A and B are shown apart, each in its own frame.
Chain A
């Protein structure tokens, strides 16, 4: 199969994902109507489809560790962020879920989503079993949302203060970079499934020969993706925190001048 054929045919029309996405869309409009920010929500759904339906998903599904890493980053960092941004300003969590809004829980969820699913056994299982993969996808979305809540919660008072937010993001960035560094330099395969993929689509020779992505190089790219671009996402969020900090109004100006 050539590269062109692959990208035109390898769409996985996963009916569960499609139905759930459609339901989510309907649910979103029923729940929030005009109060929300539907553009963000549409973006979130688009990225979900990109991650789970497009040929990327086929590659992540047993072929390329690096493609899996792209999927992982989209599911933990991009989609939950877009989702939180789409919520109306008035939104707040009900009591059973409020315990998720502790910064420590958020931090552990964000960093844990990276480390936990890269334990070799879990990583292998997720790449081979559809059930484990579904659990993984769901858990990544949830953990990502819990992580971003500290920074992107709908209401200002639910978020960390900008300086605390910077510390939160920076430490999370460091913790994930360390994993990226380990993956990049690891001489053994972290996720052995990807070393000798079962060639379901007949694309393996194109990947190894045409694209030049050997299994060693594949894991290195995966590690680097976690190390560098992911850190840039955190860095962008840190800059956003600084922008937020500097744009805080001066509430007591008259009083302090008097």
Chain B
């Protein structure tokens, strides 16, 4: 950095609002949650078209028996890309787009808690998508399914770089998703408007708030797995290579420990949408708010305990099967509670059958069917028969399309007026609805039957078995209905955006805060918020003579958003390091010939560890000095912290160097693979922490340390630094101390 540049000049150069407002940069450089929300949705729309065309090709290939329209390898690539695209590049960004747009409005905030982090999270999506699809040009798309089972996904069996692109893309998308979840949590906890207590949150907001915790539980596990498979492929590790001592089943555990919660990560926002739309169009408050809200928490806790039901066919043993059967059946209870509550909300209401409501009704029916086939898979005996058949394909498409896509198609006309200021066409919407209902059910109901007739998944063609031909043909015809429905939808969006009827602030007579501002809302969202004492503030405004019962206290406690954000980030890191430590322990318990933990130099590591632990103390002293506004002392302690952290890193580099000298590197055996991965990622975190602390040192040196903003950011950095030290306590115990106790 140029010595003459000061913080103020630096800020002026990159953060000039006038420059950013210029039309050429307005959307590219935006940090406004509303624009980012729209960008998310547009990105999802683009990938929806791509994923949809991929699906169309898959169905065309399967339309008739013994078809040779597609090469088998192309077919494998297509269903891998289709699955990955639809989950990571369509469902997630589309839902996050809605959340990004609506959630800050619903809680009465000006923006998300961290607008720039929000932009970062968004830009991870298109770049992740481009990375994934770039593999097509770079020597071959991945062809191993969206779950990328090992060892098929390992270099000896998939030598093209497709899997590498897949893993890096998902890692990038995972980072974006985690940053989104952190932002959502911080927004809800720290940025609510006056009177918007946690117990008064609209259900859409509540469910996405709870869902963000599920994201922070699940995504880091996937990221750890992706890091491991990349290490296998790029650095010659063997985590998932059985013939080198690795475990292919470990990959399945990691993937499904993420994969099952992932289902709920995409379905909970959809639940939130339905919970907003059904009451408004039934002209009744939601039936049993508390039950809908609490069952969401139950789903989050339970969904982390059921991933084994994806692995019944692996052969985990009877005890494991039994426990996962029970938990998988249990999760039907909170989901069933929700379905009953939505139905009870409609019961006795004055139902308006506008397009959003139509989609929600279809959602209810289709989701119930999906739940029934889902809970049938909880039975391991049935699962063994249907797991690898089209019955399962039908089941999860009923969840992803029949429930999630339908909820989004309902949410789009519901919130489109808020976003654009114009209504979507009701008649075109009905066309879309019927084309989708007919097409979707035509395609997927019959697949249940096909599956029970024994048609396996992941096959590129099939012999002319009686009955299979016409059922597959019917299934393929349904896709064209959905395609036509989508074209009508695209036309509807474009047409309504320019020519739609002007909506006004609150076209649906809804009750949540997003309808209390103009359509579209101004940059700062609200001129003034209505008084909030219940869960339906706009009902209270419209009906002052019979307001909703007041819910709880009016007092709103808003913790510092930096603190909330960094704690949420640390929460996610626990999952990441937890996975790495458990993987290390797994291979530690299956020792191999060659280097092992006994060969490590424990005393020397302990000395360097003391430096790291001492740096937590010195950081604390620096914080105290900052509070007392003693700048010199603060700089001194901070400098010492950085020095101690640096010494620790030097110690680690030295340890690596000595191991390399004796011929031990990452590929030597399972110990070295898991040892270098675990300590390496910790070292990387220390390095990032050091960079953060150096930035603070620089800023404080330039005299930037007097603001309260600096104070809160400095404290947040401190949480991170202490956390990195705590992780080292666990690494030290498992890697260095545990072998001594044997």
CB contact list, A216-239 vs B, under 8 A: 217, 220-221, 224, 227-229, 231-232, 234-235, 238-239
Partner of B319, one of A221, A234, A251, A257: A221
Contacts A181-B582, A248-B552; is A163 near B198 (CB within 8 Å)? Answer: yes
> How far is A239 from B550 in the complex, measured between Cα atoms in Å?
23
Size of the B side of the interface (Cβ < 8 Å), in residues, is 31
B residues near A231, Cβ cutoff 8 Å = 301, 305
> How far is A181 from B553 in the complex, measured between Cα atoms in Å?
41
> Which secondary structure dominates where chain B touches chain A?
helix
A178 within 8 A of partner (CB):
yes
B131 within 8 A of partner (CB):
no
> How far is A215 from B111 in the complex, measured between Cα atoms in Å?
57
Judge whether A224 and B323 touch: CB under 8 Å.
Answer: yes
B residues near A177, Cβ cutoff 8 Å = 305
> How far is A193 from B294 in the complex, measured between Cα atoms in Å?
43
B428 within 8 A of partner (CB):
no
Judge whether B550 and A250 touch: CB under 8 Å.
Answer: yes
Contacts A252-B553, A256-B533; is A217 near B297 (CB within 8 Å)? Answer: no
B596 within 8 A of partner (CB):
no
Which stretch in B146-154, B347-355, B585-593 binds the other chain?
Answer: B585-593
Judge whether A250 and B319 touch: CB under 8 Å.
Answer: no
Judge whether B298 and A228 touch: CB under 8 Å.
Answer: no
> How far is A245 from B302 in the complex, measured between Cα atoms in Å?
20
Cβ of B209 to closest chain A Cβ, rounded Å: 12
Contacts A182-B582, A182-B585, A238-B297; is A232 near B319 (CB within 8 Å)? Answer: no
Contacts A186-B589, A224-B319, A246-B199; is A252 near B297 (CB within 8 Å)? Answer: no
Judge whether B317 and A220 touch: CB under 8 Å.
Answer: yes
B residues near A187, Cβ cutoff 8 Å = 589-590
Cβ of A245 to closest chain B Cβ, rounded Å: 7
> How far is A253 from B319 in the complex, measured between Cα atoms in Å?
53
Task: Identify the closest chain A residue to B324 (Cβ).
Answer: A228
Cβ of A224 to closest chain B Cβ, rounded Å: 5
Judge whether B589 and A188 touch: CB under 8 Å.
Answer: yes
Cβ of A163 to closest chain B Cβ, rounded Å: 7
> How far is A256 from B551 in the complex, measured between Cα atoms in Å?
11
Judge whether A178 and B199 touch: CB under 8 Å.
Answer: no
Contacts A181-B582, A239-B297, A251-B553; is A245 near B590 (CB within 8 Å)? Answer: no
A108 within 8 A of partner (CB):
no
A residues near B582, Cβ cutoff 8 Å = 178, 181-182
B residues near A57, Cβ cutoff 8 Å = none
B residues near A234, Cβ cutoff 8 Å = 301
B residues near A227, Cβ cutoff 8 Å = 305, 323
> How far is A234 from B330 in the complex, measured between Cα atoms in Å?
15
Q: How many A-B residue pairs have CB under 8 A?
A: 77
Judge whether B297 and A242 touch: CB under 8 Å.
Answer: yes
B residues near A250, Cβ cutoff 8 Å = 550-553
Judge whether B302 and A235 touch: CB under 8 Å.
Answer: yes
B residues near A170, Cβ cutoff 8 Å = 301
Judge whether B298 and A235 touch: CB under 8 Å.
Answer: yes
Question: Which of A186, A242, A252 counts the most chain B CB atoms within 10 A?
Answer: A242
Task: Identify the closest chain A residue to B296 (Cβ).
Answer: A242
Question: Which of B199, B323, B550, B585 counts the most chain A CB atoms within 10 A?
Answer: B323
> How far is A246 from B320 in the complex, measured between Cα atoms in Å?
36
> How far is A227 from B319 in the complex, measured between Cα atoms in Å?
12
Judge whether B554 and A246 touch: CB under 8 Å.
Answer: no
CB contact list, A111-125 vs B, under 8 A: none
A243 within 8 A of partner (CB):
yes
Task: Identify the closest chain A residue to B295 (Cβ).
Answer: A239
A residues near B297, Cβ cutoff 8 Å = 166, 238-239, 242
A184 within 8 A of partner (CB):
yes
Judge whether B326 and A228 touch: CB under 8 Å.
Answer: yes
- Annotate B364-375 by CB proximity to A: 1 below 8 A, 0 otherwise: 000000000000
Judge whether B320 and A242 touch: CB under 8 Å.
Answer: no
Judge whether B554 and A256 touch: CB under 8 Å.
Answer: yes
Judge whether B320 and A184 touch: CB under 8 Å.
Answer: yes
- Annotate B292-318 by CB proximity to A: 1 below 8 A, 0 otherwise: 011001100110010000000000011
A185 within 8 A of partner (CB):
yes
Judge whether A243 and B320 touch: CB under 8 Å.
Answer: no
Judge whether A246 and B301 touch: CB under 8 Å.
Answer: no
> How far is A232 from B290 in the complex, measured between Cα atoms in Å?
20
A residues near B301, Cβ cutoff 8 Å = 170, 173, 231, 234-235, 238
Cβ of B566 to closest chain A Cβ, rounded Å: 16
> How far is A229 from B293 in the complex, measured between Cα atoms in Å?
23
Judge whether A232 and B293 touch: CB under 8 Å.
Answer: no
Task: Identify the closest chain B residue to A178 (Cβ).
Answer: B578
Cβ of A94 to closest chain B Cβ, rounded Å: 32
Cβ of A218 to closest chain B Cβ, rounded Å: 9
Cβ of B322 to closest chain A Cβ, rounded Å: 8
CB contact list, B517-565 vs A, under 8 A: 533, 550-555
CB contact list, B178-234 vs A, under 8 A: 198-199
Contacts A182-B585, A256-B554; is A228 near B323 (CB within 8 Å)? Answer: yes
Judge whether A232 and B330 touch: CB under 8 Å.
Answer: yes
Task: Identify the closest chain B residue to A223 (Cβ).
Answer: B319
Cβ of A233 to closest chain B Cβ, rounded Å: 11
Task: Identify the closest chain A residue to B575 (Cβ).
Answer: A174
Contacts A184-B320, A224-B323, A235-B301; is A242 near B551 (CB within 8 Å)? Answer: no
A residues near B318, Cβ cutoff 8 Å = 217
Question: Which of B330, B552, B586 counts the most chain A CB atoms within 10 A?
Answer: B552
CB contact list, B653-683 vs A, under 8 A: none
Partner of A242, one of B293, B323, B533, B586: B293
Cβ of A171 to closest chain B Cβ, rounded Å: 9
Judge whether B320 and A224 touch: CB under 8 Å.
Answer: yes
Task: Identify the closest chain A residue to B253 (Cβ).
Answer: A185
Cβ of A211 to closest chain B Cβ, rounded Å: 12
Judge whether B533 and A257 touch: CB under 8 Å.
Answer: yes
> How far is A231 from B301 in the complex, measured between Cα atoms in Å?
9
CB contact list, A197-213 vs B, under 8 A: none
Cβ of B297 to closest chain A Cβ, rounded Å: 6
- Annotate B317-338 by CB proximity to A: 1 below 8 A, 0 otherwise: 1111001001100100000000
B residues near A220, Cβ cutoff 8 Å = 317, 319-320
Contacts A220-B317, A228-B305; is A242 near B294 (CB within 8 Å)? Answer: yes
Partner of B327, one of A178, A221, A228: A228
> How far is A227 from B306 in the complex, measured between Cα atoms in Å?
11
Contacts A181-B582, A228-B327, A245-B199; is A256 near B550 (CB within 8 Å)? Answer: yes
B residues near A246, Cβ cutoff 8 Å = 199, 290, 293-294
Contacts A186-B589, A228-B326, A242-B293; is A257 near B550 (CB within 8 Å)? Answer: yes
B residues near A186, Cβ cutoff 8 Å = 589
A residues near B317, Cβ cutoff 8 Å = 217, 220
Task: Identify the closest chain B residue to A236 (Cβ).
Answer: B298
A residues near B293, Cβ cutoff 8 Å = 242, 246
- Annotate A117-157 by CB proximity to B: 1 below 8 A, 0 otherwise: 00000000000000000000000000000000000000000
> How far is A163 from B301 in the complex, measured between Cα atoms in Å?
15
Task: Identify the closest chain B residue to A184 (Cβ).
Answer: B320
Cβ of B218 to closest chain A Cβ, rounded Å: 13
Judge whether A253 and B550 touch: CB under 8 Å.
Answer: yes
> How far is A234 from B578 in the complex, measured between Cα atoms in Å?
20
Contacts A185-B586, A252-B553; is A239 near B323 (CB within 8 Å)? Answer: no
Chain A residues in the interface with B (C-beta under 8 A): 163, 166, 170, 173, 177-178, 181-182, 184-188, 217, 220-221, 224, 227-229, 231-232, 234-235, 238-239, 242-243, 245-246, 248, 250-253, 256-257
For the A-B complex with A235-B298, A238-B298, A248-B552 known, give 13 more contacts whose Cβ atoms are closer than 8 Å: A170-B301, A178-B582, A182-B582, A185-B586, A217-B319, A220-B317, A224-B319, A232-B330, A246-B290, A246-B293, A250-B553, A256-B553, A256-B554
What are the 9 A-B residue pairs with the smallest beta carbon separation, nearest first?
A256-B554, A242-B294, A246-B290, A224-B323, A235-B301, A228-B323, A221-B319, A253-B550, A220-B319
9 A-B residue pairs with Cβ-Cβ distance under 8 Å, sorted by A, are A185-B589, A224-B320, A232-B330, A239-B298, A243-B294, A245-B199, A248-B552, A250-B550, A250-B553
